[in-house]
Structure 1
Amino acid sequence: MSNEQRVRIPAKPAFPPSNAPARDGARATGRRLAEVRGARPAPDVAPDRASTARSSASMAVGTLISRILGLVKGVVLGIAIAGTTVADVFTGSDYLPNIIFLLVAGGVFNAVLIPQIAKASRLPDKGSEFISRLLTLGVAGLLALTVIVTALVVPIMGTFTSFSGGQLKLAITFGLFLLPQIFFYGLYSLLGQILNAHNAFRVYAWAPVANNVVAIAGLLVFIAVAGSSRAHQHTVDNWTTTQTLLLAGTATLGIVVQSLVLLMPVKRLGLRLRPRFGLRGTGLGVTAKIAGWTVGTMIIGQLSYLVVLRVATISSASKPNGAAGGSGVPGIYEFNRATELYIMPHSIIALSIATVMFTAMARAAAAHDFSGLRSSLSAALRTTGVATVFASIALIVLSGPLGMLFGGNSDLSGRQIAITLAILAIGAPFFSVYFILNRVLYALEDARTPFVIQCMVVATSVTMVLASAALPPPLIIYGLAVSYTLNNFIGPFLSHHYLKRRLGNYGGGLILRVYMRFLAAALVAGVAGEAALRAFGSASPDGFMWTSISASLVTLAVVGSAMAVVYFVMLKALRVHELDDVVAPLLSRVRSRMPSQG
Structure 2
Amino acid sequence: MSLFSKFATVGGATLVSRIFGFAREMLMASALGVGPVADAFNLAFRFPNLFRRLFAEGAFNAAFIPLFARSLEDEGEVGARRFASEIFSTLFTVLVVLTILALIFMPFLVKTIIAPGLSVCVDDPSTGGKVISCAARYDITIAFSRIMFPYLACMSMMAMVCGILNAFRRFFAAAAAPTLLNFILIGVIGYALHIHADKQTIGFLMSWGVLIAGFAQLSMVVVAMRIAGFGVALKRPRWTKGLKRLLVLAGPAALIGGITQINLFVGQAIASFKPGAVSILQYADRPYQLPLGMVGVAIGVVLLPELSRALKAGHLREAQHTQNRSLEFALFLTIPAAVALFIIPEPIIRVIYERGQFHPAATIAVGSVLGLYALGLPAFVMIKVFSPGFFAREDTKTPMVATLISAGANIVLSLGLFWLLAERGIALATTIAGWLNAGLLFAGLYRRGLWEVDHALLKRAGFVCLSAAVMGGALLYALHGLSPWLASGAGLERQLPALGGMVLGAMAIYFVLAFATGAADRTMFLTVVRRRRRAEAAKTVASEDTTS
- TM > 0.5 between the two? yes
**Contact 1:431/1:492 (8 A) holds in 2:** yes
Q: CA deviation at 1:331?
A: 1.5
- In structure 2, the CA distance between the partners of 1:57 and 1:343, relative to structure 1 (3 Å rule), is closer
- In structure 2, the CA distance between the partners of 1:110 and 1:150, relative to structure 1 (3 Å rule), is farther
- In structure 2, the CA distance between the partners of 1:555 and 1:150, relative to structure 1 (3 Å rule), is farther
Q: CA deviation at 1:347?
A: 2.5
Report Cα offsets for 1:176-223 as digits up to 9, x if no partner.
222221222223224444555566655444332333211110011121
Correspondence for 1:247 among 203, 206, 209? 206
Q: Map 1:162-561 onto structure 2 (within 5 A).
A: 162-163=117-118, 164=121, 165-196=135-166, 202-226=172-196, 234=199, 239=200, 242-265=201-224, 275-281=234-240, 283-289=242-248, 293-294=252-253, 297=256, 306-316=265-275, 331-352=277-298, 361-362=307-308, 365=311, 374-409=320-355, 410-471=359-420, 475-503=421-449, 506-507=452-453, 514-537=460-483, 541-542=487-488, 544=490, 547-548=491-492, 551-561=494-504
Correspondence for 1:566 among 504, 509, 514? 509
Report Cα offsets for 1:35-72 as digits up to 9, x if no partner.
xxxxxxxxxxxxxx89x999998766544432322222
- In structure 2, the CA distance between the partners of 1:587 and 1:489, relative to structure 1 (3 Å rule), is same
Distance 1:433 1:106 in 2: 15
- In structure 2, the CA distance between the partners of 1:389 and 1:114, relative to structure 1 (3 Å rule), is closer
Q: Which moved more, 1:103-112 or 1:579-588?
A: 103-112
TM-score, normalising length: structure 2: 0.80
- In structure 2, the CA distance between the partners of 1:483 and 1:275, relative to structure 1 (3 Å rule), is closer
**Contact 1:571/1:579 (8 A) holds in 2:** no
- In structure 2, the CA distance between the partners of 1:490 and 1:214, relative to structure 1 (3 Å rule), is same
Give the secondary structure class of the aligned counterpart of 2:177: helix
**Contact 1:153/1:175 (8 A) holds in 2:** yes
Q: Which moved more, 1:99-108 or 1:426-435?
A: 99-108
- In structure 2, the CA distance between the partners of 1:140 and 1:477, relative to structure 1 (3 Å rule), is same
Structure 1 residue 84 and structure 2 residue 35: aligned? Answer: yes
Q: CA deviation at 1:130?
A: 5.2
Distance 1:467 1:107 in 2: 31
Report Cα offsets for 1:130-155 as digits up to 9, x if no partner.
55554443323211111111111111
Distance 1:209 1:528 in 2: 34
- In structure 2, the CA distance between the partners of 1:173 and 1:551, relative to structure 1 (3 Å rule), is farther
**Contact 1:153/1:172 (8 A) holds in 2:** yes
- In structure 2, the CA distance between the partners of 1:588 and 1:336, relative to structure 1 (3 Å rule), is farther
Q: CA deviation at 1:504?
A: 8.5
RMSD: 3.9
**Contact 1:146/1:179 (8 A) holds in 2:** yes
Q: CA deviation at 1:486?
A: 1.9
Q: Which moved more, 1:89-98 or 1:202-211?
A: 202-211
| Letter matched to residue 407 of structure 2 | V
Give the secondary structure class of the aligned counterpart of 2:448: helix
**Contact 2:35/2:279 (8 A) holds in 1:** no
Correspondence for 1:148 among 81, 98, 101? 101
Distance 2:463 2:208 in 1: 49
Report Cα offsets for 1:281-320 as digits up to 9, x if no partner.
563224434556435646888765553232122222xxxx
Q: CA deviation at 1:556?
A: 3.2
Q: Which moved more, 1:143-152 or 1:525-534?
A: 525-534
**Contact 2:93/2:237 (8 A) holds in 1:** no
Correspondence for 1:139 among 73, 88, 92? 92
| Letter matched to residue 72 of structure 1 | A
- In structure 2, the CA distance between the partners of 1:292 and 1:146, relative to structure 1 (3 Å rule), is closer
Q: CA deviation at 1:127?
A: 5.3
- In structure 2, the CA distance between the partners of 1:136 and 1:381, relative to structure 1 (3 Å rule), is closer
Distance 1:79 1:453 in 2: 40
Distance 1:571 1:480 in 2: 34
Distance 2:18 2:271 in 1: 25
- In structure 2, the CA distance between the partners of 1:80 and 1:442, relative to structure 1 (3 Å rule), is same
Correspondence for 1:95 among 39, 46, 53? 46
Q: CA deviation at 1:478?
A: 0.4
Distance 1:54 1:301 in 2: 26
Q: CA deviation at 1:450?
A: 0.7
Distance 1:195 1:591 in 2: 27
Distance 1:206 1:504 in 2: 33
- In structure 2, the CA distance between the partners of 1:116 and 1:360, relative to structure 1 (3 Å rule), is closer
Give the secondary structure class of the aligned counterpart of 1:277: coil
Report Cα offsets for 1:438-492 as digits up to 9, x if no partner.
3333344432211121122122111111112333xxx311001111222233223
Give the secondary structure class of the aligned counterpart of 1:402: helix
**Contact 1:142/1:183 (8 A) holds in 2:** yes
Q: CA deviation at 1:175?
A: 1.4
- In structure 2, the CA distance between the partners of 1:576 and 1:339, relative to structure 1 (3 Å rule), is same
Point out where structure 2 has 5 or more consecutive residues left out of the alignment.
122-134, 542-548
**Contact 2:334/2:377 (8 A) holds in 1:** yes
TM-score, normalising length: structure 1: 0.74
| Letter matched to residue 514 of structure 2 | L
Distance 2:442 2:339 in 1: 24
**Contact 1:210/1:254 (8 A) holds in 2:** yes
| Letter matched to residue 580 of structure 1 | R
Q: Which residue of 2 aligns with 1:43?
A: none
Identity across matched positions, percent: 20
Distance 2:529 2:57 in 1: 38
| Letter matched to residue 194 of structure 2 | A
Q: CA deviation at 1:404?
A: 1.8
Distance 1:274 1:59 in 2: 28
Q: What count of residue pairs does the alignment treat as equivalent?
A: 518
- In structure 2, the CA distance between the partners of 1:260 and 1:371, relative to structure 1 (3 Å rule), is closer
**Contact 1:215/1:251 (8 A) holds in 2:** yes
**Contact 2:252/2:400 (8 A) holds in 1:** yes
Structure 1 residue 68 and structure 2 residue 19: aligned? Answer: yes
**Contact 1:82/1:408 (8 A) holds in 2:** no
Q: CA deviation at 1:576?
A: 2.4
